[in-house]
Amino acid sequence: MRISIVGGGPAGLYFANYLKTFKADCEITVFEAQHESMNAFGLGYTLQKVDTILLEKLDKDFYEHLFYEETTPIITEALFKTNFQSRTLPFSEGFSVTRHDLIRYLKNRAISAGVNFVNKKILPEDLTNLQSRFDLVIAADGISSIARQQFKTELQTKEHKAKLKFSWFTNETEDERPEACFYAFKSEEGVILLTSYPLTKHKQIVVIEMTDNCLNSGSFQGKTPTQAIPYLNKLLSENGDQINLLSANLPWYTFKINTSEKLYTDNLVMIGDSAYSFHYSAGQGVTTSFSMAYTLAQCILKNPELSFALSHYNHSVGLLLTEPAKTSLRHMKWFEGIDQHFSDTNKNEWLDLFLQKDEYSKSKKASAITCSTNTCR
């Protein structure tokens, strides 16, 4: 079987590694356009249980092989903060890895297994040619997939563009910071969201996000992420931390939530962010990419007939991701309205609001009902 993969991100590389390991006679070529995806500039990922189980299926010693310089702290806790409150909660055990290290590890492994790599940006008009030259074409080309755009009618794609902007930074601390952090700080302009993961004991990857309205007003107006650093540091250091963001020289980004009714058309199939993308707060991107890649490889290994394999894959992924995709979209819509949610809520309740998101008003209503019932008695 001859397979071409458009895109050498986590999804494409996991698939290439898995299939080549368990079906050595298939010929796989990965076409990779450097830095074509906004994730390519991302500084890193947290990997949790499912990711590690799937990595272990490729390599029992993956953890040692992934880190050739400095290992990363194991994350077991998450610190949630607003301007006046904070709470530490258990976090599903995991660790962070830079995108560079994850891609280096998966790519080197694939090369030694015999996967071919071609540095080339595939254009929409190249896809039909690939479809006739290869038995199967895998679109693993990320959130702005050309295959997704080219076959949008056949695949019945949907996308929701976030009314939010984010960028990556790093932060260095004197104290050891092994926990994941999720902060929501209200400023005059709107609510600033900080998400951070430890890369080393003293260095964290940080994502800062805010609504488009917030970024277009007051002290943020017209500022690049680098220019916004002094103001962000001041705001985010209000509740106990000394935040010292370092610039990654990146712009503000917008992302989309992708979903698709169908994951294949003829002999072309989508995996990873091209098919389903999640708001990063769900911490689900790499898990989804690896799981889709694993499911597709399994379906190909178990079904000698390609059309059965693709139909089986389509069905399995639908079962796996339809509900999480709905939840992610709901959460993103909640984030889009975060400035209003905070303004409408007493500051003593901001932390509960942030933790429960769109469930918060329901839980408030429920407790009000319980309270009034008890008073009646």
Ligand X SMILES: Cc1cc2nc3c(=O)[nH]c(=O)nc-3n(C[C@H](O)[C@H](O)[C@H](O)COP(=O)(O)OP(=O)(O)OC[C@H]3O[C@@H](n4cnc5c(N)ncnc54)[C@H](O)[C@@H]3O)c2cc1C
Binding residues vs ligand X (CB under 6 A): 6-12, 31-33, 35-37, 39-40, 42, 45-46, 121-122, 140-143, 146, 166, 207, 255, 272-273, 280, 283, 285-287, 289
H or E element that contains 86:
strand 86-98
Minimal distance in Å, beta carbon 10 to ligand X? 4
Instruction: Compare residues 12 and 198 and give the one whose CB is closer to ligand X.
Output: 12
Q: Give the distance, in angstroms, between the CA of residue 113 and the centroid of all CA atoms in the same chain.
A: 27
Contact in structure between 196 and 181 (CB atoms under 8 Å): yes
Q: Calculate Rg over the CA atoms of the chain.
A: 22
Nearest-CA neighbor of 256 among 268, 238, 273, 232?
273
Instruction: Compare residues 166 and 183 and give the one whose CB is closer to ligand X.
Output: 166
Minimal distance in Å, beta carbon 38 to ligand X? 6
3-class DSSP state for residue 123?
coil
Instruction: Return all residues near 362 (Cβ < 8 A) that are at least 6 apart.
Output: none
Instruction: Compare residues 37 and 328 and give the one whose CB is closer to ligand X.
Output: 37
Minimal distance in Å, beta carbon 130 to ligand X? 10
Backbone φ and ψ of 277, nearest 5°: -125, 150
Minimal distance in Å, beta carbon 343 to ligand X? 25
Minimal distance in Å, beta carbon 141 to ligand X? 4
Minimal distance in Å, beta carbon 120 to ligand X? 7
Instruction: Compare residues 45 and 220 and give the one whose CB is closer to ligand X.
Output: 45
Nearest-CA neighbor of 292 among 98, 30, 9, 36?
9
Instruction: Compare residues 32 and 189 and give the one whose CB is closer to ligand X.
Output: 32
Measured CA to CA, the distance from residue 118 to residue 242 in angstroms comes to: 45
Instruction: Compare residues 7 and 225 and give the one whose CB is closer to ligand X.
Output: 7
